[in-house]
Amino acid sequence: MTAQSPPTLGGRYELRRQLARGGVATLYVAWDRQLDRQVALKMLHAQFAADPTFAARLRREARGAAGLSHPNIVGVYDWGRQGERYFIVMEHVSGHSLAEIIAARGPLGPKAAAAISFEVAAALALAHRAGIVHRDVKPQNILLSNDGHVKVTDFGIANMIGGGPSRDLTETGTVVGTASYLSPEQARGEATDARSDLYSLGVVLYEMLAGYPPFRSDTPVSVAYQHVQEPPVPLGETADGVPQALASIAMRLLAKDPDERYQRAEDLRQHLQIVRERLEQSPQDRPAAPAPAPLPTPPP
């Protein structure tokens, strides 16, 4: 390898460019030399190598996520370790995250919000049937590809890192945005199940319709408190033109008590399909496609 050659992990994954860096990992576009394809590679930060139980969790969760084959789920291909860093290899999706789209466009309108929520619910339904709870459903983990598909990413990541986004609410540097999507039971540090994912999807649906999540504050702890104690402002007071049927779905998802929410993602998916069919008879609202140009794809 020359000094100018890009770094290669696991003897096969050539790092091409950095896409993003967060509190858990750095995301790269990479090239798989063995299969001649572009992939996304998530390199976890070095502190995880110090945990003697992490490798076993990574292996278990990566295998579980790799078994989720669905058009609305980002595929997991491989995992490994390079020096003091673990990495996960995933399907590369050319497009934008839902977070980027909302930041660029504001509220997406009922049709787009219902359509995106429908596809996320389909992804969650499959994962939940397989016994996998995401635990970190948020706009940053919902991708809209340039060819019009909605894909949920990072299944298993919350379990790999040991507790998910609620584990460090009081730690310095915790991002308020992540706390915005916690379920009340996550905020209390309690055990979670599939209904926690549905609450988080309710937050995302609310944000797509209103342009911002139902609970906002300057600190993660304050946001978490609101999830536990404060009722969300009704969508009729924060967003214009939201059909009552869609607003009712969002508010049911945001119930503090898990027993009062939808109990299965499949039930939610079916209700969203009914709403989508009704909306198709109304004038078109804003499309889901973002205003910015697609991200460039590097050559092989």
DSSP state of 73: B
- Which two structure tokens, joined as six digits, stand for 204? 């995302």
- What is the per-residue DSSP string for 234-261? PHHHHSSS--HHHHHHHHHHT-SSGGGS
Looking up tokens 């009552």 gives 244
Q: Which of 109, 102, 113, 137 is nearest to 123 (CA)?
A: 137
Which string of b and e fits 176-212 if b means at least 16 CB within 10 Å? ebbbbbbbbbbbeeeebebbbbbbbbbbbbbbbbbee
- Which two structure tokens, joined as six digits, stand for 258? 């898990």
Q: Which of 173, 191, 175 is nearest to 183 (CA)?
A: 191
Beta-carbon count within 10 A of 175 CB: 13
Q: Which of 223, 140, 208 is nearest to 176 (CA)?
A: 223
Per the annotation, the verdict on 136 as an active-site residue is yes
Among residues 32, 136, 154, 197, the one annotated as catalytic is: 136
Active site residues: 136
